[in-house]
């Protein structure tokens, strides 16, 4: 069994690939957003304390021989790094990625995003933050910060363009695993 971490920009498909890959492997899938954010309405407004996040993930992942973790934990997840057997880094053309994010936001929250809606400002701020991924420095989750983090890893890193169909991405990851995984 492999312990796989999938990361990339928001909208690059880390959660989608994580769920599909975990299903294919028959292992649990966890996403960092599920532990990073407290359950609130509107969502994604209150961060969970770092120690609590790590406790949740380490408690779930450490005893298992195989799992898939999607999302970013770069600035707080150092204790998770020794658990990784493979890191998958997803990239995607910024215009396509932002279109995916806009559609996802609209599909999830609809009228709440309209002017005056309770999520309009938060969604606009999120989209502006996400749009800066390819040009921002290490002060935020960015291509630069993720590339720097990846360059320091000793486990294999598989880089994939997530414009490919999910099935093809799953096949690419499975082909990278040792026989019997």
Is residue 40 within 8 A of residue 17, CB to CB? The reply is no
Residue 120: inside a domain, yes or no? no
**Does 87 fall in a domain?**
yes
Residue keyed to tokens 């215009």: 95
Residue 131: inside a domain: no
Domain contains 35: yes
Tell me which residue range forms the domain holding 83: 3-92+141-169
Of 71-75, 100-104, 170-174, the poorest mean pLDDT is in 71-75
In a domain, 100, yes or no: no
Band (pLDDT 50/70/90 cuts) for residue 178 is: confident
Domain count, the chain: 1
Q: What percent of the chain lies above the pLDDT cut of 70? A: 99
pLDDT of residue 180: 57
Please check whether residue 166 is in contact with residue 20, taking contact to mean a CB–CB distance below 8 angstroms.
Answer: yes
What CATH number does the domain containing 148 carry? 3.40.50.300
- pLDDT for 138 equals 86
Q: What percentage of residues in the chain have a pLDDT greater than 90?
A: 94
Give me Rg for the CA atoms of the chain: 16
Domain membership flag for residue 156? yes
User: Are residues 30 and 69 in contact, defined by beta-carbon separation less than 8 angstroms?
Assistant: yes
């Amino acid at each position: 069994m492999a312990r796989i971490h999938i990361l990339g920009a928001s909208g690059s498909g880390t959660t989608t690939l994580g769920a599909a890959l975990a299903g294919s492997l028959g292992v649990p899938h966890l996403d960092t957003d599920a532990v990073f954010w407290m359950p609130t309405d509107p969502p994604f407004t209150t961060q969970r304390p770092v120690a609590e996040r790590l406790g949740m993930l380490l408690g779930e992942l450490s005893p298992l021989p195989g799992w898939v973790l999607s999302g970013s934990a770069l600035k707080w997840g150092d204790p998770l790094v020794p658990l990784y057997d493979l890191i998958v880094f997803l990239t995607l053309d910024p215009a396509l990625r932002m279109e995916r994010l806009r559609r996802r936001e609209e599909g999830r929250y609809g009228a709440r995003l309209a002017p005056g809606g309770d999520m309009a400002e938060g969604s606009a701020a999120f989209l502006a933050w996400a749009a800066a991924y390819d040009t921002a420095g290490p002060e935020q989750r960015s291509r630069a910060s993720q590339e720097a983090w990846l360059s320091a890893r000793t486990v294999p890193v598989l880089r994939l363009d997530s414009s490919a169909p999910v099935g093809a991405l799953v096949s690419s990851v499975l082909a990278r695993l040792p026989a019997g995984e």
